[in-house]
Structures are given as structure tokens and as C-alpha cells.
Amino acid sequence: MILKRLGISVFVLLAVSVVVFVFTLLLPGDPAQAILGQQATPERLAALREQLNLNDPWYERYFTWLGGLLVGDLGTSAATGGSVNELLGQKVSASVLLMIIAAVISIPVGILLGTWSAMRRGRTTDHTLTGISLVLAALPEFVIGIALTTLLSTTVFQLLPSVTMAAPGTRVWDYPLQLVLPTLTLVLVVVPYMIRMTRTTMLDVLDSGYVEMARLKGVPERQVIMKHALPHAIGPVAQVVAMQLAWLAGGIVVVEFLFRYPGLGQAMVDAVQIRDVQVVQALSMIIAAFYVVVNLIADVIGILANPKLRTESSK
Amino acid sequence: MVSTTTVPKATVATAISVRDLSLGVQGGDLILKDVDFDLTPGRILALVGESGSGKTTAALACMNHLRTGLELRGGSVQLHEGASRFFNQNMDLLTLSEKQVRKLRGGTIAYVPQDPALSLNGALRVGEQIHEVLCIHEFGRNGREREARVAEVLEEVGLPSTKKYQRRYPHQLSGGQQQRIGIAMAFACRPAVIILDEPTTGLDVATQDLVLKTVYQLTTKHDVAGLYITHDLAVVAQVANDVAVMLRGEIVERGPAEKVLYDPDHDYTKTLLAAVPDLQGERAMGGGPAVSPSAKVRAPWDNSHDDDVPVANSGQVADSARGANDGRDNARGVGQHDAAQSAHGASSGATAVAAEPARSDEASRGGERAASSTGDTAQVHDRAASPTETKPANEPLVAVRDLRLAYGPAVILDGINLDLVEGQTTMLLGESGSGKTTLSRSIAGLNAAYTGEVLLEGNVLANGTRKRSNEDRRRIQYIFQSPFSSLNPRRSIGDSLEVPLEMSGGMSRKQRRAAVADALDAVRLGRSYINRRPGELSGGERQRAAVARALVNAPSVLVCDEITSALDVSVQASVIELLRDLQRERGLAMLFVTHNIALARHVSHKLAVLEKGRLVDYGPTDHVLRNPQHGYTKSLLKHVPTL
């Protein structure tokens, strides 16, 4: 069953690669013209087209590009003429760092608060928590980011840097304080959904026959939650977490732009502006792959957390 | 059987006394009013009532467990001195702290839930779930003793005790095995009191029989006080020593099982008893004598009191049943233990202890009436078949010929030949998974994947409803199992009923409304229901509305798919009465799909038994019941609980 999911994932990635490639083909204008500008001579344009393989039929270009992807070669940037790998390497790792910190904080917090809220159903803590999470969920990420900046680094308190300033050649994690605000923004954006979904799932589970049975067996409440209820909530919650993490990959564009964080999002904005087709393609594929991998992990967790699916898959 | 721990004998006369227990919805109506009962070691008290009567609420209150939204209004649940290992004095369970109550739950007072598929934790291995109770209640001195106890209790309920079996997950067990795991879990700590909440509702009769025997055996052997909640009076007759009848939160009658079941005082008990279908077809369930009574039952005109059914008949039944009950008590005393074990080993080889008394009783009564029986039967059949007399009954209205349905290698139905005759009912009997619903859906055209033929008046019908003509669709109507999901909750009853008329067309809105009103009258709901919505109706009313929906464009054939399974016995009786009246008035051909063999004589002229997609027995009901050909039918007959 896991193998089947894996196969589907590969298929999805291939489909995405076709779509991404076709769309970059459809972009108006000539990449060579865009790179060289209006003053370029026809000879230079022709030479660049040759260099970018623009004269080959589109399917050949697709397979050349796909072949490169498979061996980890993302192509040559049209703008800088350098390798896309080199251009993106550091930015990808910077973004991944941001996402990992955000995930590591938000997953336990979301699940814990969601469970806690479900256990106190109908009481003040539950109402407060669901109320706050609804408000946070309703706010766009840039509003949260601006509010945090106002609160923590400019007008009210001046504790944290509001923008990321990494000198060339240094890495983002050399300045941990600069990471706080972007991470906090991402966490605040993602956690409310996790709380709400965990709460709903846990409410269903807590109303189930086996939880009532566990209580009637005299199982202490703590053990009821940890041993009888949580395993059933893991599968659905993993799906929600995956959705949120996948969203992070896209949502990070706005947050990075806001805090001038040198990551994927910024690279994306820049690349689109200068019509750097190779970089846009590469970034699209990276984000797509991230979506697919995260969802695959959620599916696998769902299967592993459910003995019924697990035993069927081992048959 | 292994016995590593000693069996403590109860030292108390009464384990739990419930006094003046009152419970209500928070800020709302009372659900229980002054409920009193005692649970005695070694005896089982059956709490009988219909859904919504408060029996589960009362039982859970014995464990100080109130479901969400309920509140205690008064009363006490006394746990008597010596009943528990943990407390040495009398005390009121309802006043204990949460921690103290937790100690009692599962250890001193154990609960067996209604549906094991929902109540066993799907994420935990079954052995672990039993082991958990022992750990929590510190049963045994160490891990090894607890493991031995898990194995022992598994054997007590007739399951394998191997480590391999213990490592299974609930979904890898059958429904009956799951329920026995639930029972093992309850008996694991040797509780003083056990509460069983309709533990056999979802099981087929053979498994039910086995589970009931296990429960009976364990409660008597270990001197456990049992509380058995059920709405099935036939089950009560099999397990209970005492009975308390609940009606809308009050106990209206109580006493020894023999007394309450065979000589009831309260009108409600009598109504309930009259509604229980019996295999012999003696009882006038569903508003009249059985359609296919057994040969020994008197013809209706023998009894001038035929119309006031409950009183006249229950007296008569009481005579005969008392004998049966004596026989059963003997069986319990002598052979209960062996019967349970051998039935577990192989159902075919074992002698059916529970079924025997009924049969010997039948024999003696049969002897009494031997002289008149043959003549009576003939006449009874004439009467039952009276609607068909107007037309020749030689040609079936619907004929199924060599129907087969397979999904890939899985054959669901094979070689089915079945006739539905005008004015007659054919019962299609089988347990879940036998293919009975698939067959009925194929006949109605809801499942088009079959091969073979379905003929209506000799004309082959197309495979699916989409390909059938309006007229063909109109003539075969289908009634679904659950009245709760078959009616659109957003539409009024009148709107729902109008849909089939709109589909067949050719009527003005006024005519349609008139037809709907007539149909509602015909199902005894009355036209005032036309603007109500399903949410305002009780289960029985909804099923009547569903019947009206099927009747509204005057079909010739009704396919009734388990339409009484979700209903209480008394409601079931009224729905069956309705169907029988409608059949008499309109000469409908009916296919009555069910898993309840006890209904056979009451509704059906012909009986078809389906097992694993094949018809294993088929013929006139009386004939099949008296001479079952197939082992499956025989085992059904052997295990069916009787009053």
C-alpha cells in the first residue's frame, strides 16, 4: 500500500513537471530577448538561443530538462549564466531552516492545545482557545507579520530586528535573533488550523465507544487520552499538519518578502521579475516536490497509525 | 479448562441495590423516575424496554457514568459490604470521588458494551486490551500472573488463548469473537457485578446462542451478579432469572423471569410479549394469526377470542411455555456447561440443549391435536392465500432466473431462481454478507451488474433502473432498511412522497397531492403528516412514511429490505401488521428480506434461505421450517431463541 502511494507520488511529480514546463513555454516573450534587452543584435540573440537550446523542438527540451532534474542538475540560470543549483542552494537551505523551526514548534503546540481544548469541551478554556485560534486563522500572514513587527521591534518594544540583514558570505543561522520574527509569524499562521483540526478530531474520538469503554474499564483519564484516544487522532491530524506544512512552502514567499529573508520566496519573486525561466521552473519543482513528499509522509503516518490499514498493506 | 486462580464465592446476598434513582436531561425532562432494583450474585436481572426507555442510562448509572448532557436528580446506588475487593463497607456509588469510582469500574463492576466493533479499541491488540484492565486494577501479583489470567479468561469465553491470538487486532476477528473479547475483558478481574448492554444485538443467531451461553455459564459459575439490558424478550427467556420491565424511565413490572414472561400483569408487558415473533407462529403477532402457522397451531376459528389478541393468546402461550421453561431449566442445570463447550467446538455435532425443550413440547402438543391438525392446516392455507383466489396463481408476477453476480473473482450471488407471486410474501433469509440485499437490489434494478434474468409478468426486465421503462419502475418498489436515512430530512413527507409520481408523470399537482394523502391514509399515518418533516417522526412513523413512499404509485411488487431490523419489537409488529393488511387489500407480491427467522411464519408464504450467495433452502414456509434440507437452515432453527 505504501509502495502504491509512492508510485502515485512519482506520477504526480511527473505530471507537475509537464505542467510547469508547458506554462513556462507559454509565457509571452522570448527569454533570449528578455535576457539581452532591446538593444541585442540578432546574432547575439541567435547565439543565446542556441546556448539555451531554444531551437530544439519543445519535447526534446522537456526531456533534456527532466533528465537534468533527475540527476540533480536544475539547469543554467538565464539571468546570471551560472548554475541554478548554486544560485538556489543557500536560499533553499535558509528557507528549509525556517520551515523546520516553524514545524518543530507548531506541530507539538498545535496538537497539545487542540487535545487540551477537546478535553475541556464547553468550558471557558475551550471557548477562549477556539476564539483566539479563529481570529488568528482569519488574519492573513502579512498582517500577523506586521503586527508582530510593530509590537516587538519598532513602536512598542524594540527587542528584535525587523529585517534580516545577512552580509554576503554569511549564513542566516549565524544571526539567530533575526530568525525569531519570521518563525513566530509562520507559527502563528499555522498553529490555529492545527488546534482547530486536532480539537475536532479529538472530539470525535472522545465521543467514540472505545473511549467510553476505556473509562468504564476504570482507565485513568490521562491514559485514556494518551493510549486510547490519541492514536486514533494521529492519522487525521497528520493530514492537517501536512496541509499546513505544504502551505508553508508557498506562504513563506510573503513572509520572507516581509522580513527581507533571503530564502526561496525571495528567489521566486526575483526570478519572475527578470523572467529567469530556469529558476522559476526549478523553484516550482522544488515546491511541488515538497508538497508531494509532505503528503506522502502524512499518508504513511496515517497507514502506520491504523492497524487495519497496516495489516492490509502487509498482506 | 485451566484454573490458576481460585474462584471466590460471593459472601453477600445482594451486590448492588439501586434505590429511587432519578436522572434527567440537564435542565430538561426526567429520563429515569425512581428506579429500584437489586442485583444478586449468581443471578441475572434482565432490564427490558424499548429504545429510549432509559435502560442503558440506568445501567451506566450503576457505574456512576452519566453520558454527556445528563444529570443526577436523586437516589442511590448502594454497593454492599464485601462485594468489592477494595472497599469494606456499604457505600453509595453516586457519592464517591472520581478516583474511587475508577477503582470500581472494570474491577468490581464490569461492563459489556452493545457493539464490540465500536467499543474495542481498533488501535490496540486484543490481548493488550484485556491485560490493561488487569494492570489498572492490580489483579495478580506480577506480570506473569496477569498474563496467565489473560490466557485463562480467553479460554473461559471459548477463544484461543495463544500469544498469536492475543496479538490480533479487533478488525481481524469476527463479530462474535469481538463480543467474546468484550466479555473476557469484563470477566478478567473477576468482578462482583457485570452489566451487559444488549451484547448480542449485532450477532447472528448461532453466535448469539453461544455468547448467551457463555454469559450464563460465567455468571453462575463465578457467582457474579448480572444486569442484562435488552429489548429482545426471547433472549431474556434464555439468560435471565429475573426481569424488570421499563417504560419511559419507570419500572412497571418486575419479578422472576417465568412469572413476567408467561404470566405478565402489566398491560405494557403483555403488549411487548404479544409483539415478539415466535418460530411456531402460535402468537398472533402483527395483528392476526401467522401467515404460515405450523401444523399444530389451531386454526383461527377455533378461538372465538381471536380479536383481543394479547390477553387471550398470552394465557394460552403461558400454558405451553411453562412446560418449555421447565425443560430449559433442567437443561441449564445439567447440560449447560457441556453444551456451551461442544457448541464452540463444532456446531453441527453438538446436541442443541436449548432447542430441545421446545421440540419435545412441540411433540407433546402435536400429539394432542394430531386428529385435527391435517384438516386445520389445509384450511389455514386457504385463508392465507385468499387474495390470490381472484386470479390464477400459477404464473409468478416476478421471476428470477439463474441470476448470478460477481465482482471479479468474488461471487456474490450464484444460480438464483426465485418467484414472487401476487398476494404472497416470499421471505429471503440470510445473515449479513449472504448477498440478500444484493439480490433484492438486483430485482429492483438498483444493482445492474448481474447476469441472468429478472422477469415481470413473463417479460424480461432490463438490468438497471435507468434502462427500465417508467412503467416497469413503477411496478417494483423498494423500501430501505433504515427509515432514518431513506427519507430526505430537508423535505416534508408530502414532498418526498410526490417524487415518484413526478417521475412517472401524467398527473397534475392536485392529483399528486391527493394520491400522496391517500397513501398516507393507507399506511395509517393520516394525511395530517403531509407537511411534517422526517425529524418530527418516530422510527415507526418514519418507516410507515417510507412504506407510503413505495405505495404511492400503486406498485405490484414491494421489495422490503430488512425494514424492521432497526425497529423495536412492538413497532416491528405494527409495521408487519400494516404490510399484511396492504397485501390483503391490494394483492401485492412482496419480497421480505430479513435475518430474523422467527418472523418467517408471521409474514411469509414462501421461505428462501440464502447462504453465501446460494439459495440453500426454498419452498413453502411451513415445509422449509419442518424439513430444512441444508445444514445452515438447521443451525438457524436450532439456535433461534424462543420464548
Query: How far is B252 from B247, CA to CA, in rounded Å?
Result: 6
- CB atoms A217 and B123 under 8 Å: no
B46 touches B216 (CB < 8 A): no
Minimal C-alpha gap between A107 and chain B (Å): 22
Q: Which residues on adjacent β-strands are paired with residue B592?
A: B427, B560
- Tell me what pLDDT residue B381 has: 43
- Which percentage of chain A shows pLDDT scores above 70? 84
Q: For B332-346, what is the mean pLDDT?
A: 41
Contacts of A120 in chain B (CB under 8 A): none
- CB atoms B122 and A232 under 8 Å: yes
Question: What SS3 state is found at B247?
Answer: strand
Of A209, A228, A308, Cβ closest to residue B113: A209
Q: Is B133 on the interface with A (CB under 8 A)?
A: yes
Question: What SS3 state is found at B358?
Answer: helix
Q: Which residue of A has its CA nearest to B136?
A: A219
- CB atoms B63 and A209 under 8 Å: no
Which grid coordinates are listed for A209? 465507544
- CB atoms B115 and A305 under 8 Å: no
Chain A, 151 to 210: residues with Cβ < 8 Å from chain B are: 207-210
Q: What is the pLDDT of residues B386-414, one digit of tens each?
A: 443 444 456 788 888 888 888 878 888 88
Report whether pLDDT(B365) > 60. Answer: no
Minimal C-alpha gap between B104 and chain A (Å): 7
- CB atoms A218 and B133 under 8 Å: yes
Q: What is the pLDDT of residues B74-127, one digit of tens each?
A: 888 888 776 666 666 778 878 888 888 888 888 888 888 888 888 888 888 888
Q: For A92-107, what is the mean pLDDT?
A: 85
Of B60, B65, B119, Cβ closest to residue A209: B119
Contacts of A308 in chain B (CB under 8 A): 122, 169, 171
Minimal C-alpha gap between A307 and chain B (Å): 6
- CB atoms A227 and B120 under 8 Å: no
Report whether pLDDT(B352) > 70. Answer: no
Confidence of residue A150 (pLDDT cuts 50, 70, 90): confident
Report whether pLDDT(B518) > 80. Answer: yes
- CB atoms B113 and A213 under 8 Å: yes
Q: Which residues on adjacent β-strands are paired with residue A83?
A: A76
A247 Cβ partners below 8 Å, 6+ apart?
Answer: A190
Confidence of residue A159 (pLDDT cuts 50, 70, 90): low
Instruction: List the single best residue of B57, B121, B168, B193 to mutate versus A (max A Cβ within 10 A).
Output: B121
Q: Is B168 on the interface with A (CB under 8 A)?
A: no
Q: Is A215 on the interface with B (CB under 8 A)?
A: yes
Minimal C-alpha gap between B191 and chain A (Å): 11
Minimal C-alpha gap between B65 and chain A (Å): 8
B23 touches B57 (CB < 8 A): yes
Minimal C-alpha gap between A218 and chain B (Å): 4
- CB atoms A215 and B103 under 8 Å: no
Q: Which residue of A has its CA nearest to B197?
A: A213
- CB atoms B122 and A307 under 8 Å: yes
**DSSP of B251-301:** EEEEEEHHHHHHS--SHHHHHHHHHS--TT--S-TTSSS-SS--TTSPPGG
Minimal C-alpha gap between A112 and chain B (Å): 20
Q: Is B359 on the interface with A (CB under 8 A)?
A: no
- CB atoms B122 and A216 under 8 Å: no
- CB atoms B132 and A219 under 8 Å: yes
Which grid coordinates are listed for B134? 488487569
Q: Is A312 on the interface with B (CB under 8 A)?
A: no
Minimal C-alpha gap between B588 and chain A (Å): 42
Question: What SS3 state is found at B448?
Answer: coil
- CB atoms B118 and A210 under 8 Å: yes
Confidence of residue A79 (pLDDT cuts 50, 70, 90): low
Q: Is B119 on the interface with A (CB under 8 A)?
A: yes
Report whether pLDDT(B297) > 60. Answer: no
Q: Is B104 on the interface with A (CB under 8 A)?
A: yes
Q: Is A307 on the interface with B (CB under 8 A)?
A: yes
Q: Is B153 on the interface with A (CB under 8 A)?
A: no
Closest to B197 in 3D by CA, of B341, B43, B49: B49
Three-class secondary structure assignment of B61-118? HCCCCCCCCEEEEEEEEEECCCCCCCCCCCEEHHHCCHHHHHHHECCCEEEECCCHHH
B387 Cβ partners below 8 Å, 6+ apart?
Answer: B422, B423, B583, B584, B587
Q: Which residues on adjacent β-strands are paired with residue B399?
A: B419, B455
Q: What is the pLDDT of residues A35-67, one digit of tens each?
A: 666 677 778 777 777 766 666 777 777 887 787
Q: Is B185 on the interface with A (CB under 8 A)?
A: yes
Q: What is the pLDDT of residues B165-216, one digit of tens each?
A: 888 888 888 777 888 888 888 888 888 888 988 888 767 777 788 888 888 8
Report whether pLDDT(B254) > 60. Answer: yes
Of B122, B136, B169, Cβ closest to residue A217: B136
Closest to B472 in 3D by CA, of B443, B509, B515: B443
Which grid coordinates are listed for B440? 433484492
Q: Of residues B287 and B270, which shows the higher confidence score?
A: B270
B5 touches B144 (CB < 8 A): no
Closest to A299 in 3D by CA, of A224, A246, A228, A230: A246
Q: For B247-251, what is the mean pLDDT?
A: 86
Minimal C-alpha gap between B2 and chain A (Å): 25
- Tell me what pLDDT residue B357 has: 42
Confidence of residue A109 (pLDDT cuts 50, 70, 90): very high
Residue B414 belongs to what H/E stretch? strand B410-420
Minimal C-alpha gap between B489 and chain A (Å): 23
- CB atoms A216 and B107 under 8 Å: no
Q: Which residue of A has its CA nearest to B62?
A: A216
Q: Of residues B2 and B249, which shows the higher confidence score?
A: B249
Q: Is B43 on the interface with A (CB under 8 A)?
A: no
Q: Is B96 on the interface with A (CB under 8 A)?
A: no
Residue B418 belongs to what H/E stretch? strand B410-420
- CB atoms B185 and A217 under 8 Å: yes
Of B106, B113, B123, Cβ closest to residue A218: B106
Minimal C-alpha gap between A213 and chain B (Å): 6
Q: Which residue of A has its CA nearest to B102?
A: A218
- Tell me what pLDDT residue B326 has: 43
Confidence of residue B138 (pLDDT cuts 50, 70, 90): confident
Buried b (16+ CB within 10 A) or exposed e, A140-161: ebeebbeebbeebbeeeeeebb
Query: How far is B624 from B381, CA to CA, in rounded Å?
Result: 15
Confidence of residue B339 (pLDDT cuts 50, 70, 90): very low
Minimal C-alpha gap between A240 and chain B (Å): 20
Q: What is the pLDDT of residues B147-164, one digit of tens each?
A: 888 888 888 888 888 888
Q: Which residue of A has its CA nearest to B101?
A: A218
Instruction: List the single best residue of A216, A226, A304 to mutate versus B (max B Cβ within 10 A).
Output: A216
- CB atoms B113 and A308 under 8 Å: no
- CB atoms A218 and B169 under 8 Å: no
Report whether pLDDT(A289) > 70. Answer: yes
- Which percentage of chain B shows pLDDT scores above 90? 1
Give the best-scoring range by mean pLDDT among A167-176, B340-349, B605-614.
B605-614
Average pLDDT, chain B: 77
DSSP class of residue B27? Answer: T
A83 Cβ partners below 8 Å, 6+ apart?
Answer: A73, A74, A75, A76, A77
- CB atoms B185 and A228 under 8 Å: no
